[in-house]
Amino acid sequence: MRGAVLKEATHRLGHDDLRLLVAGELGSSTATVELLRAAELSKHRILLAGLMRAAARSQQDEYPALEAAYLLLADVEACNVRAVRDVVAAPQFGSWAARCLTRLTEPGEAARADVPLWVDLGRLAVVAVVAAVRAGHRFALDIPLRHGEATFPGTGVARPGGGEAWEWGQARSADWGWEVSSPHGCVRLPPPGQDSGQPSSGWSPMPRIDVGPMGLRLGVSLDDRDPDLDCFGTARVTVTAEELVRWRATVADAWRILVRHHLSSAWVTSRVVRALVPLDEPVPGRSVSVTAAGAFGAIAMSLPADPLAMAEVFVHETQHGVLSAVNDLIALTGPGDERLTYAPWRDDPRPVGALLQGAFAHYGMARFWRQRQQLGRASQRIGASVEFARWRELTADAIGALHESGVLTEAGLTIVAAMRETLTAWQRERVPTVASERARDISLGHRIRWRLRHLAPDPAAIEALASAWLARARPGTEPAVALSAITAMIRVRPLAAIGPQPSVLGYLHRDRAGYATAASGYLRALAVAMDVDAWTGLAIARQHTGPAGIARILANWPEVVAGMHDCLRGQAEPPDPDALAAWLESLADHGHLAATAR
Amino acid sequence: MPRPDHDQETGIPDLTSLSLEELAELDDSVVANVIRVIAERRGGRGGYREAFSDFQSAT
């Protein structure tokens, strides 16, 4: 029995390893990152073993082709271990294996798929071909074609042509290198390194970007076409020749920034990231980046606005990749982690379990911006301080929520405790007042808007408060109600329904007079209609103009004030938002409100 | 109270030095168990938790 032997050779991640990983110092976390890479390779191999068994048991007609591909991979491995290791460790492979396994074992998944199962399973053949070509191994293998094309992971797209949407073609080694054929045509290709990077009518090479000094190089494919990387839940884009120039330049400059000023992050990124997947911008001017737990080593992103933004994406998304790999080895959260809560970096409610992922990524961002506070022009340094102040506070808040959530395992708590220790030290570091105030306002604006959009106050409690407001001339009629109980329910609204959040920067002003003028405008807007942005702006303005009690209620319970305001809108004399907030604050002063101000 | 890391005992076996030929000979129960654990850690989100409860029952 191999089982007993394997148990002795399990990838083990101790709590000291987790603490070193959080510390993120170059050197101390090196062994842990290598362990995670090895564990992800083992995961891909066990998924392959699982899907081969599942395919054999399900008696699929496709099994012989799958087996032929496996045998070629095994043959190549016998003479070139690295060639096979590289293709199996690739993010494309992890994504493909997980998807095929799901299709083979979950009938509902198979029915939903828009690609025939034999085409999906047949992808192992193109993986085997890539390994064989790189190893210089002789081969001849049937491969699936989609609309007359075959995408070879990390290598390129061959177009021998086809007569149907899905059909078999063939790839084989040849004296001149290798060729891909179909009943309709043949594409001849040289061996690797001999002009195989040159495009032709039948061949589009996968762009590669290799940058950096010896010893700290970033080598990635810019993968805008492999179907196995359609796993990010958002639209991909094909990169034009002109855009490719911009991608290359931005990656090169971003890498220079990381190597020069963020050496530890650069090292981890260089060890983890193997593919960049270009995405469309969901909203013009608003970039997006994603990682998928099943595709370790791939980062999907729209082209960031500048190299610094791309450097930030590398740091952020690599943190996600690392924590996903940790989570494959040790459970970080347990039952109850699907409960929805506020995440300071998302417009929608998020599961508590996902909050840990976000906290780890934004912890990395806080470290990134902390290191940038002394770099560049004065405005850039202030900007870095704002980002540092913002993310250290928000990450600390999220960590506090996680700590109290009761869903963390011991390993999850170890990671959270290590982050908290560092964040506590960072919170003692001084940043310019203008930066800390701006960071506070940006964070507050996001949280207020989120509460207004996603917290549903209890209608009965709101009506009771409104009635008490109308009868406020009679002392003793105020309800004794805790605001926290009124706003317990989260309503999940699709992001498309609520639209993109405008920039919070629009709420910020130079001085107190500017905020006072802005507050008047927000009050006029609220007299006309319910307006989430006007409530947000008013709440931020009152942090600067006062009175403090009104500012506190608007910041912490905006959905209650807005709910009351809406409820009373039909009255002959429309209520004044400030007056409502002041009244709620007066109840708090009388001990009726459990205002848990942050 | 934190939840225990009981699954440390059923982590991912080190298969990095195993050949594909040897991988094919692995005991089915070892393969199914490891995949089940990985899937559970995904919490059923974007994973194959149900998928592998099926596979495991098949073994």
Residue A288 lies in a domain: yes
Amino acid letter at A146? R
The pLDDT assigned to A490 comes to 63
**Is residue A272 domain-shared with residue A334, that is, in the same domain?**
no
Report yes or no on A499 lying in a domain: yes
Look at residue A198 and tell me if it is in a domain: no
A306 in the same domain as A294: yes
Q: Cα–Cα distance between A488 and A458 in angstroms, integer? A: 8
Domain count of the fold of chain A: 4
A401 and A496 share a domain?
no
Asked if residue A260 lies in contact with residue A376, where contact means CB atoms within 8 angstroms, the answer is no
Residue B47 has pLDDT above 50, yes or no: no
- Give the model's confidence band at B48: pLDDT under 50 very low, under 70 low, under 90 confident, else very high: very low
End-of-domain residue from the set A277, A294, A326: A326
pLDDT of residue A158: 96
- How large is the C-alpha radius of gyration of chain A? 28
pLDDT, one tens digit per residue, over A213-269 is 878 999 999 999 999 999 888 889 999 999 999 999 999 999 999 999 999 999 999
ipTM: 0.79
Is residue A268 domain-resident? yes
- When CB atoms are compared, the residue of A10, A48, A53 closest to B13 is A10
List, in sequence order, every residue forming a beta bridge with A179; answer none if it has no partner. A172, A188
Residues A152 and A43 placed together within one structural domain of the fold: yes
Two tokens at A1? 């029995």
pLDDT at A589: 53
Task: Give how far the C-alpha of residue A394 lies from the chain's centroid of Cα atoms, to the nearest Å.
Answer: 17
A residues 287-316 lying closer than 8 A (beta carbon) to B: 292-294
Distance CA A126, CA A141 (A): 9
- Residue B40: which of A203, A334, A279, A207 has the closest Cα? A334
Q: Which range of residues forms the domain containing residue A293?
A: 207-326
Where do the structural domains in chain B lie, given as residue ranges?
Answer: 25-59
pTM comes to: 0.87
Tokens of residue A319, six digits: 């943190």
Query: CA-nearest residue of chain B to A404?
Result: B1
Q: In A, residues 95-134, which contact B (CB 8 Å cutoff)?
A: 98, 101-102, 104-106, 109
Give the pLDDT of residue B51: 37
In a domain, A414, yes or no: yes
CA-to-CA distance for A271 and A292, rounded, in angstroms?
17
Tokens of A183: 């009943």
The verdict on A105 and A173 lying in the same domain is: yes
Same domain membership, residue A361 and residue A286: no
Beta-bridged to residue B10, according to DSSP, are none
Structure tokens at A145: 């074609």
In this complex, do A49 and B24 lie within 8 Å of one another by their Cβ atoms? yes
Any idea which residue has 């305001």 for tokens?
Answer: A565
- CB-nearest to B35 from A41, A47, A333 is A47
- Ranges in chain A, pLDDT < 70: 1-8, 26, 60, 107, 109-112, 193-197, 473-507, 588-598
- Residue A496 and residue A356 share a domain: no
Q: How far is A71 from chain B (nearest CA, A)?
A: 8
